[in-house]
Structure 1
Amino acid sequence: MPRSQTRIASVMEQVRKQIAARAYLPGARLPSVRQQARLSGVSVSTVVEAYERLAAENLIAARPGAGFFVSGPAAPLDLTQLTADKERDIDPLWISRQALEADPQLLKPGCGWLPPSWLYEEGVRKAMRMAARAQSALLTDYASPYGHAELRQFLGRKLAKTGITATADQIMLTESGTQAVDLICRFLLQPGDCVLVDDPCYFNFHALLRAHPVKIVGVPFTPQGPDLTAFAQILQNHAPRLYITNAGIHNPTGVSLTPVVAHQMLKLAEAAGLIIVEDDIFADFETHPAPRLAAYDGLHNVIQIGSFSKTVSAAVRCGYIVARRDWTDSLVDLKIATSFGGGQLASMLLHSALTGSGYRRHMESVRLRLAVAMQTTLEKLAALDILPWHTPQAGMFLWCRLPEGADAARASRACLKEGVVLAPGNAFSQSGSAADFLRFNVSQCNDPAIFSALKRALKQG
């Protein structure tokens, strides 16, 4: 293909991707031909030809004297178009797909959950036997849109232990923690709003927020919590609507928020009118409870979410939202509109498992196993000159820096060829500043083949 044709095709592909990613919505005006020429590094005539061809495809339309505009309707949302092609093999959606593969031979030190044998299978089986004897309505009918009443009452008592006072009508059950975040985003955000996430943060926050037309800004994270100086500056510069963060044990760093940072965060957030979503999914892994923003704030401008997929069973999908009463009332309406009634069977199973006599002992065992696995993994990584950015007090994650000159994406590609799924740092970093980091799940690091593959990958550079 002649070079001029290649340049025209390149401009056309850029515009197609922007439309597919909904960066350009129906009716949106495209950059002028001169602006697009500067952006693409091509001649004006090249852009004119590209635009004319896109108009011939009915993707855009020319308006004399006004420019070129996107034709409707909106393109189906394609999340993969929101990441550059060269990064597709290491983006959050790709990592999740690899880690969720059913191949039992695949080693997954980069995944975010415990091995199946570490979860509460015994409690789930017992709960299923009890459910089989339940009234038929509990097995076949819709639940209240708030969700299973007894589970919500249980969660209210559990939250009280962390200083959060919430009545049952301030708690709404969801299908998962991810659905909880999605519902809150639908409820609070408008197109163009700014949303803050930690940098680094749980990579699926990035993936989920791509489905909402919002601006995402990362807050640098420290071993005590968010960098307060940077946080204050970001609040001033961007006027964000929402901040999504972890309570207790932070993913991916394993950091626990300090009381001083928590108080100062809330003062800054209150002055800026910022709403905080506090994800408390790792609460039961803690050995020493960290401060909860929802407790300090009294659920005024902090919403807490959580689930039990990391401790009980990922197959029993059930999460929750705890918020102000007027917000939960509106969230219930939104839940009905998007998913109708709740999944009663899953919440009934979960309530039985959590309130049975074995759950406490189960979690004591898990915490002990994680502590042993943490120490063992630290030693194996140190032998490869891979060092922790922070040594967590509890939990399953290690956020580690690779030896000087190593690249986490290259190492991840090399290890995948050997059946090892890693989690490279830039998938967690909004700023792309974690190219030399990997997140390790210590519960998934018991196979020596992981470290052998990693050693070979690092030698390859």
Structure 2
Amino acid sequence: MARTTTRIEQVMAHVRAGIASRTQVPGTRLPSVRAQARSLAVSVSTVVEAYERLAAEGVITPRPGAGFYVAGPVAPLALTQLGPRLDREVDPLWVSRQSLETDPSVLKPGCGWLPASWMYEEGLRRALRAQARAPSCELVDYATPTGDPALRQLLSRRMAAIGIEAAPGQLMLTESGTHAIDLICRFLLKPGDTVLVDDPCYFNFHALLKAHQVQVVGVPYTPQGPDVALFAQALQAHSPRLYITNSGTHNPTGATLSPLVAHRLLKLIDQSGLVTVEDDIYADFESQPAPRLAAFDGLARVIHIGSFSKTVSASIRCGYIAARPDWIDGLIDLKLATTFGGGRLAADIILKTLTDSGYRKHMDALRLRLARARDETATRLQKLGVKPWLKPEAGMFLWCRLPQGTDAAAVARSCLAQGVVMAPGNAFSQSLSAGDFMRFNVSQCADDKVFGVLARALAVRNVSA
């Protein structure tokens, strides 16, 4: 039987959590014993004893007549200590670890990438063979700070096709899409700033923003885009510095931004001075391009980013940032300070793959394959009482509501025990309001075991409910 935690230990744990999250750094004065007692609803004597024990451990230092202060060096950054404690089943870092670390035999309908057999392997192998014959400098030298000029030129043309005017000089290559967002956060944010995200949104946005120690506010996402009225309220209430969203096909919902919502959002962005980061990682999955905020804004206050991990290779890491010239100049310096010149091989391989004669045909076939998989997966899920929130026009995701009263985290835990990794809704929700939702990757749902395991997990949950 587990031992009950005493109130003294609870106070000590509260102080340690503040230190671990760097809310209280060395030299910070702790609340007085009376103030701490009021805030934690315990007695003054309880706090006195907790402080004395922490002082005996060397965690805090008493200063006669001045109170207690945090001691020692800055604690190593512990992301799981930042923000509310979450069940591991809905912690973004846990979901990522389960998807990346489990045995290859484990099924992963909760992961965010295509099966290897769905990728453009033939073209990628041709690119690798061609790169092996490249001059020595292309194999061993650093890249320029902005990255391969030919790939930036290609990206400029590709962006122009969806209405975004960005000269090659407004583009900088990065090591990945996540690296692009990390650089932008370093460039624009300081700890304590507020960032808006969609609710739900890609779960690694939450984890990355935790690392930057900013305040995150979620805005409910609708089938047409973020709720504009609530977006305006968030601007008024929180004065955010940044808004991070998906353009094109939204992750996890599969929704697309409507022109009307895009127009209204840009008016709010212009009025508030908000900077928007538009992640366009799913661009090549679209048959018809959805509106891009960067196209309407002209890259004045919208930063456009992307990468190729979903369509070319997640192993060959390469992303990009498109922004106004003065911001690119600052981002180049920041990139040099954190990664120096960056890799050259990845950009060269990506360029060769994208310009390979078979890439366009491969993507045409992939879009059809995904459309069939979305229909088939939706049909099989509906037979289990799992209902898609909407029918996406493109992409690999279905955002689905489980039968009424079902706890998605509990279902995910049950499925994992049977060798199936799921993605429960609250991993994507800043407000933790998606407890009965799950995201399904239709490309990873071909095995009948996925639906058998899910059916058993849902049956157990319904019986227990």
**Where in structure 2 are the equivalents of 1:425-444 lying within 5 Å?**
425-444=425-444
Say if 2:245 and 2:279, in contact at 8 Å, map to a contact too.
yes
TM-score (norm 2): 0.96
CA distance in 2, matches of 1:421, 1:38: 43
Mapped contact 2:166–2:322 kept (Cα < 8 A)? yes
- C-alpha displacement at 1:66, in angstroms? 3.8
What SS does structure 1 have at the residue aligned with 2:430? coil
> Does 1:80 find its partner at 2:112?
no
Which residue of the partner structure matches residue 32 of structure 1? 32
Is contact 1:4–1:46 with CA below 8 Å preserved after alignment? no
Q: Where in structure 2 are the equivalents of 1:129-144 lying within 5 Å?
A: 129-144=129-144
1:250 Cα deviation (Å)? 0.3
Q: Is 1:323 aligned to residue 323 of structure 2? A: yes
Partner deviation per Cα, 1:294-342 (whole Å, 9 max, x = no partner)? 1100000000000010000111100000001010111010000000112
Q: Deviations over 1:87-116 (max 9, x none)?
A: 124311001011012512100000000001
Alpha-carbon distance, 1:83 to partner: 5.6
SS in 1 for 2:455: helix
2:411: which partner in 1?
411
Structure 1 position 4, deviation (Å):
10
Identity %: 65
Q: Which runs of 5+ in 2 are unaligned?
A: none
> How far 1:418 sits from its partner (Å)?
0.2
Tell me if the contact between 1:423 and 1:438 (Cα under 8 Å) persists in the aligned partners: yes
Equivalent-residue separation in structure 2 for 1:400 and 1:124 (angstroms): 34
Q: How far apart are residue 240 of structure 1 and its match?
A: 0.2
Deviation at 1:68, TM superposition (A): 2.4
Instruction: Sort the Cα spacing of 1:86 and 1:203 in 2 relative to 1 into closer, same or farther, 3 A.
Output: closer
| Amino acid in the other structure paired with 1:130 | A
2-structure distance, mates of 1:102, 1:124: 25
Partner of 1:237, secondary structure, is helix
How far apart are residue 52 of structure 1 and its match? 1.5
* CA deviation vs aligned residue, 1:48-82 (integer Å, no higher than 9, x gap): 11112212222222334443222242111011223
Give SS of 1:210's match.
helix
Match of 1:160 in 2: 160
TM-score normalized with structure 1 length: 0.97
Q: Who is 1:421 aligned against?
A: 421
- Structure 1 stretch displaced more, 384-393 or 39-48: 39-48
Offset, 1:228: 0.4
Cα offset for 1:365? 1.1
Distance 1:190 1:407 in 2: 36
Q: What is the alpha-carbon distance in structure 1 between the residues aligned to residue 34 and residue 456 of structure 2?
A: 49
Contact 2:89 2:424 in 1 (8 A): no
Alpha-carbon distance, 1:36 to partner: 2.5
CA distance in structure 1 between the aligned counterparts of 2:265 and 2:347, rounded to whole angstroms: 34
- More deviation in 21-30 or 228-237? 21-30
Q: CA RMSD in A?
A: 1.6
Pairs aligned (count): 461
Residue in 2 that maps onto 1:303: 303
Structure 1 residues 47 and 351: alpha-carbon distance in aligned structure 2, compared to 1, 3 A threshold: same
Residue of structure 1 equivalent to 2:215: 215
Matches within 5 A, 1:439-450: 439-450=439-450
Q: Are residue 176 (structure 1) and residue 183 (structure 2) matched?
A: no
Contact persistence 1:109–1:440 (CA under 8 A)? yes
Deviation at 1:242, TM superposition (A): 0.2
Task: Map 1:14-163 to 2 at 5 A.
Answer: 14-82=14-82, 87-101=87-101, 103-163=103-163
Q: Tell whether the 8 Å contact from 2:90 to 2:425 is kept in structure 1 after alignment.
A: no
Equivalent residue number for residue 277 of structure 2: 277
2: distance between equivalents of 1:66 and 1:217?
36
Q: What SS does the corresponding residue of 1:350 show, helix, strand or coil?
A: helix
Structure 1 stretches of 5 or more lacking a match? none
Does structure 2 conserve the Cα–Cα contact (< 8 Å) formed by 1:83 and 1:91? no
Which digits, 9 at most, give the CA deviation of each residue in 1:200-233, with x for residues without a partner?
0000000001101211000111110000000001
